[in-house]
Amino acid sequence: MGEATIERTVHETARREADAPRSLVARLDRPLTLESGAVLGGVRVAYQTYGALNAERSNAVLICHALTGDQHVANVHPVTGKPGWWSTMVGPGRPIDTERFFVICSNVLGGCMGTTGPASLNPETGEPYGLDLPLVTIRDMVAAQAALVDHLGVRDLFAVVGGSMGGMQVLEWAASHGDRVFAALPIATAAKHSAQNIAFHEVGRQAVTADPDWREGRYLVEGAIPRKGLAVARMAAHITYLSEPALQTKFGRNLQDRAARTFGFDADFQIESYLRHQGQSFVERFDANSYLYVTRAMDYFDLAADHGGVLAKAFQRSKTRFCVVSFTSDWLFPTEDSRQIVHALNAAAANVSFVEIETDKGHDAFLLDVPELIATTKGFIDSAARARGLPPA
Amino acid sequence: MGEATIERTVHETARREADAPRSLVARLDRPLTLESGAVLGGVRVAYQTYGALNAERSNAVLICHALTGDQHVANVHPVTGKPGWWSTMVGPGRPIDTERFFVICSNVLGGCMGTTGPASLNPETGEPYGLDLPLVTIRDMVAAQAALVDHLGVRDLFAVVGGSMGGMQVLEWAASHGDRVFAALPIATAAKHSAQNIAFHEVGRQAVTADPDWREGRYLVEGAIPRKGLAVARMAAHITYLSEPALQTKFGRNLQDRAARTFGFDADFQIESYLRHQGQSFVERFDANSYLYVTRAMDYFDLAADHGGVLAKAFQRSKTRFCVVSFTSDWLFPTEDSRQIVHALNAAAANVSFVEIETDKGHDAFLLDVPELIATTKGFIDSAARARGLPPA
């Protein structure tokens, strides 16, 4: 390992740590007993809030982020300098209007943006946890969020909203803390992770752990970063977030600036250089061990299995209003997955609406400025707010 | 690198080389001028034949193999000990009946089972070519096959048959040497590689080249093998050969023998251990640089682009009879790709039939014992044989 690389590694670790204070951090005063049975003490939850809690404490909205998201839902990201990942959806005058709602978004347990995760210091050793952090599940992530919400003095959430892994957390909130959730908006998600999705995650994990710079998970201690492995993992995953028609429209077989094929292994095609860029930029902002932990949490998610194999039982006697959203070209979490959620909610006699949005943007549509998604969210939130007796915007 | 690994590497290189003589090898007496413009001398083409050429030399069938296939279409594979990769389709009494036809199958140019490829010795250096081998294309593969067919004293092929990349070769044969092809059966293929497929290939190549044991392509000289990278590439690719419903049926979320989740990163789910096995066993039989070359050849394939952007022009005045086959659950080469071939053949007024076979087996269906595929092939071959005036079986 060259000196430049070591310097870079140290610089980045420092940068990541220095970033944490830019978010608020709640230090949980009680240890979390995880689904695995392990007890995790000293948990920190990094979060952002937007807007103000009303006097009745009835206008709080929790946003749950996806696999590689974070708490910076509606502010400029401190590492990438890009707008918040859901600034189309959350902000002044947006469907989740920060002039109307008190919006909370926290980094998930196991993440790498300030919440306790494998890159956090293990208080027992003074070194980053690495693989010594116990495995966390979607239910554990939700438990940490619930502790944060308590910490903020909020009992009832007006709404819990999220897409993809965020949608899994929404479903878990409705199942585990249904009495605290007035409205739930799970988008492009599933009540269990499919075999194909587990397969893609396993490829990503193998790519990370195949990188010798992963150092059996001890790369932070040893001053390395498994860049190449994590980039490959991201590239494979990124394909699954898009759709074949969108790739065809956006890239097709277009070549890079060069007019002709080079008859070599450079990125001749635009899609190749696009993917390589996605892989490389991901490494700048994400921790490799976090990628292992959070993908594993998704793989383990199976809400029916937690309720005797019957998904409807997860939502028994639910008073929560649901709006379930899927996208026609999403092949990672296809509409069929959303339909299974809706069937279970119907079987539980829950209040549910279901919207399948026509788009060629694939799974990533939940993050994009898709007018029908914006309109659906606004309609659902406004209607639920009226039902909740919140003043109009 | 440990001694055991070095020994294993040497052993395997030796085994692979020792294997070549088990196939027949044609040494082309003229250099090939490749599509890139490079001139490649000393080309060897390893092949197998089955059955006998008739006196009229009119019963030759060329089988074209897919990305990781080889010439061992209907005999026990000398490395894996498994039956030939298409023994359901080729053999005595099979649709491509070796008691009736003279069947030829050769390892593709760029391959690693005896035909000249990146693992072959470069006569100029006495070392394996590695990345010094010029890039080859599907058209170059077909040129090498044509030279082999000449070498065997065969002018006209009764049929050219293949699936996936083999189907690309079938289309290229019909386009470049149409007057030598009586019947063509391209299965589960496309006239051009899609953006999504290029993307998956690029992930695989990045996985290989990210492995430090790839040694910038010089691993054979340096006594290494990029096992981990190649295994990851294979795992990602393998997912694309299957279908979500098939994965769901075969594996679902089934756990391994252990009754419960381990809350760790072992292969808890059956799909994980299946994929890991696919990756590991692939490394035993395939050369990493070959994987780069052959995936690149597929990416470069765009038959319309070679004919002024109009696919129909590739088949102008074609006298070949075509049967185009696709599978409903194949998302790598979806039916739409086959339809585009059929439209072009129709526009060129070619003789074409088209069969879309209902199956949940995904792209891999072309390799499997799918009764409708067997029946379609038998029907097409028998009918073409009658039209060719070949005696019945």
How high is the ipTM of this complex?
A: 0.92
Distance from CA of B292 to the nearest CA of A (A): 8
CATH number for A18: 3.40.50.1820
Averaged pLDDT for residues A91-114: 98
All residues of chain B having their beta carbon less than 8 Å from the beta carbon of residue A211 are 210
Q: Is residue B169 part of a domain?
A: yes
Task: Note whether B244 contacts A194, CB cutoff 8 Å.
Answer: yes
Task: Give catalytic status of residue A330 as yes or no.
Answer: yes
Banded pLDDT at A79 (limits 50, 70, 90): confident
pLDDT of residue B16: 52
Alpha helices, DSSP H, located in chain A: 3-19, 138-151, 165-176, 195-210, 227-241, 244-250, 270-285, 288-300, 335-347, 371-388
Are A298 and A168 in contact by the 8 Å Cβ rule? The answer is yes
pLDDT in tens, A58-72: 999 999 999 999 999
Query: What SS3 state is found at B61?
Result: strand
Distances (CA, A) of A124 to A16, A42, A60, A218, B147: 21, 10, 36, 16, 69
Lookup: tokens for B340:
């585009």
Banded pLDDT at A393 (limits 50, 70, 90): confident
d(CA A94, CA A233): 33
Q: Is the confidence at residue B258, as pLDDT, over 70?
A: no
Q: Is residue B393 part of a domain?
A: no
Q: Is the confidence at residue A9, as pLDDT, over 90?
A: no
Rounded-to-10 torsion of CA A286, A288, A293, A294 = 30
pLDDT of residue B260: 82
B256 at A interface, C-beta within 8 A: no
pLDDT of residue A256: 86
Distances (CA, A) of B253 to A167, B257, B320: 19, 13, 47
Q: Is residue A26 part of a domain?
A: yes
Lookup: tokens for A279:
């892989």
Searching chain A, which residue's CA lies closest to the CA of residue B242?
A: A196
pLDDT of residue A260: 81
B251 at A interface, C-beta within 8 A: yes
Q: Is residue A393 part of a domain?
A: no
Number of domains within chain A:
2
Domain end call among A229, A263, A294: A294
Alpha helices, DSSP H, located in chain B: 3-19, 138-151, 165-176, 195-210, 219-222, 227-241, 244-250, 270-285, 288-300, 335-347, 371-388
Query: What SS3 state is found at B110?
Result: coil
* CA angle B159–B160–B165, rounded 5-degree value: 165
Q: Is residue B257 part of a domain?
A: yes
Are B298 and B168 in contact by the 8 Å Cβ rule? The answer is yes
Q: Is residue B289 part of a domain?
A: yes
d(CA A239, CA A387): 40
Q: Within this chain, do residues A101 and A227 fall inside the same structural domain, yes or no?
A: no
Amino acid occupying residue B259? A
* CA angle B68–B74–B76, rounded 5-degree value: 80
Q: Is the confidence at residue B163, as pLDDT, over 50?
A: yes
CATH number for A272: 1.10.1740.110
Which range has the worst mean pLDDT, B63-67, B77-81, B223-227, B307-311?
Answer: B77-81
d(CA B361, CA B330): 8
Averaged pLDDT for residues B176-197: 98
Proportion of chain B above pLDDT 70, given as a percent: 94
Nearest to A272 among B35, B202, B212 (CB): B202
Are B164 and B190 in contact by the 8 Å Cβ rule? The answer is no
Q: Within this chain, do residues A134 and A252 fall inside the same structural domain, yes or no?
A: no
Nearest to A202 among B35, B253, B272 (CB): B272
pLDDT of residue B5: 42
B278 at A interface, C-beta within 8 A: no
Catalytic residue among A318, A330, A337, A338: A330
pLDDT in tens, A252-268: 999 987 668 899 999 99
All residues of chain A having their beta carbon less than 8 Å from the beta carbon of residue B244 are 194-196, 331, 334
* Residue for token pair 């019909």: B174
Q: Within this chain, do residues B47 and B184 fall inside the same structural domain, yes or no?
A: yes
Q: Is the confidence at residue A231, as pLDDT, over 90?
A: yes
A258 at B interface, C-beta within 8 A: no
**Would you tell me how many other CB atoms lie within 10 Å of the CB of residue B7?**
11
d(CA B316, CA B329): 31
Q: Is the confidence at residue A19, as pLDDT, over 70?
A: no
Q: Within this chain, do residues B222 and B353 fall inside the same structural domain, yes or no?
A: no
Q: Which of B136, B232, B262, B269 to mutate to test the interface with A (most CBs of A within 10 A)?
A: B232
d(CA A362, CA B373): 32
Q: Is the confidence at residue B13, as pLDDT, over 70?
A: no
Task: Note whether A135 contacts B264, CB cutoff 8 Å.
Answer: yes
Averaged pLDDT for residues B37-64: 97
d(CA A55, CA A153): 12
A259 at B interface, C-beta within 8 A: no
Interface of A with B in 309-368 (CB under 8 A): 331, 334
All residues of chain B having their beta carbon less than 8 Å from the beta carbon of residue A194 are 244, 247-248, 253
Q: Domain range holding B7?
A: 3-196+302-388
Searching chain A, which residue's CA lies closest to the CA of residue B274?
A: A199
Residues in chain A: 393
Interface of B with A in 105-164 (CB under 8 A): 131, 134-135
* Residue for token pair 């294309």: B137
Are A17 and A34 in contact by the 8 Å Cβ rule? The answer is no
Are A273 and A267 in contact by the 8 Å Cβ rule? The answer is yes
Banded pLDDT at A23 (limits 50, 70, 90): confident
Interface of A with B in 184-223 (CB under 8 A): 192-196, 198-200, 202-203, 205-207, 209-212
Q: Within this chain, do residues A77 and A217 fall inside the same structural domain, yes or no?
A: no
Q: Within this chain, do residues B38 and B146 fall inside the same structural domain, yes or no?
A: yes
Q: Within this chain, do residues B133 and B271 fall inside the same structural domain, yes or no?
A: no
Distance from CA of A68 to the nearest CA of B (A): 19
Own/partner long-range contacts of B375-381 (Cβ < 8 Å, ≥24 apart): B376/B323, B376/B325, B377/B89, B377/B95, B377/B96, B377/B161, B377/B185, B377/B323, B378/B95, B380/B183, B380/B185, B380/B323, B380/B353, B381/B95, B381/B96, B381/B159, B381/B183, B381/B185
pLDDT of residue B8: 46
Catalytic residue among A65, A77, A193, A363: A363
Are B376 and B325 in contact by the 8 Å Cβ rule? The answer is yes
Backbone torsions φ then ψ of A133, nearest 5 degrees: -70, 130
Nearest to A252 among B195, B212, B267 (CB): B195
Q: Within this chain, do residues B151 and B235 fall inside the same structural domain, yes or no?
A: no
d(CA A372, CA A120): 39
Q: Which of B263, B293, B360 to mutate to test the interface with A (most CBs of A within 10 A)?
A: B263
pLDDT in tens, A324-375: 999 999 999 999 999 999 999 999 999 999 999 999 999 999 999 999 999 9
Which tops the pLDDT comparison, A235 or B18? Answer: A235
Q: Within this chain, do residues A156 and A206 fall inside the same structural domain, yes or no?
A: no
Nearest to A239 among B199, B211, B247 (CB): B199
Banded pLDDT at B79 (limits 50, 70, 90): confident
The rounded mean pLDDT for chain A is 94
Are A105 and A63 in contact by the 8 Å Cβ rule? The answer is yes
Are B106 and B144 in contact by the 8 Å Cβ rule? The answer is yes
Active site residues of B: 164, 330, 363
Task: Note whether B198 contacts A239, CB cutoff 8 Å.
Answer: no
Tell me the pairing of strands B60-64 and B32-33: unpaired
Alpha helices, DSSP H, located in A84-187: 138-151, 165-176
Domain end call among B259, B278, B295: B295
pLDDT in tens, A176-213: 999 999 999 999 999 999 999 999 999 999 999 999 99
Task: Note whether B265 contacts A302, CB cutoff 8 Å.
Answer: no
B247 at A interface, C-beta within 8 A: yes
Query: What SS3 state is found at B53?
Result: coil
Q: Within this chain, do residues B237 and B119 fall inside the same structural domain, yes or no?
A: no
Q: First-to-last CA distance in chain A? A: 57
Residues tagged in the binding site annotation of A = 234, 364
DSSP secondary structure of A345-381: HHHTT-EEEEEEEP-SS-GGGGGS--HHHHHHHHHHH
Domain end call among B230, B265, B295: B295
Q: Is residue B147 part of a domain?
A: yes
Q: Within this chain, do residues A288 and A305 fall inside the same structural domain, yes or no?
A: no
d(CA A348, CA A315): 6
Q: Is the confidence at residue B237, as pLDDT, over 60?
A: yes
Element of type H or E holding A127: strand A127-128
The rounded mean pLDDT for chain B is 94
* CA angle B146–B150–B156, rounded 5-degree value: 80
All residues of chain A having their beta carbon less than 8 Å from the beta carbon of residue B306 are none
Task: Note whether B279 contacts A210, CB cutoff 8 Å.
Answer: no
Task: Note whether A134 contacts B263, CB cutoff 8 Å.
Answer: yes
Backbone torsions φ then ψ of B83, nearest 5 degrees: -60, 160
All residues of chain B having their beta carbon less than 8 Å from the beta carbon of residue A206 are 228, 231-232, 235, 276, 279
Distance from CA of A56 to the nearest CA of B (A): 41
> Please, what is the angle between helix A138-151 and helix A165-176, to 10°?
70
Task: Give catalytic status of residue A176 as yes or no.
Answer: no
Q: Is the confidence at residue B20, as pLDDT, over 70?
A: no
Q: Within this chain, do residues A70 and A177 fall inside the same structural domain, yes or no?
A: yes
Q: Is the confidence at residue A14, as pLDDT, over 60?
A: no
Q: How many CA atoms lie within 13 A of A231 on its CB side?
A: 26
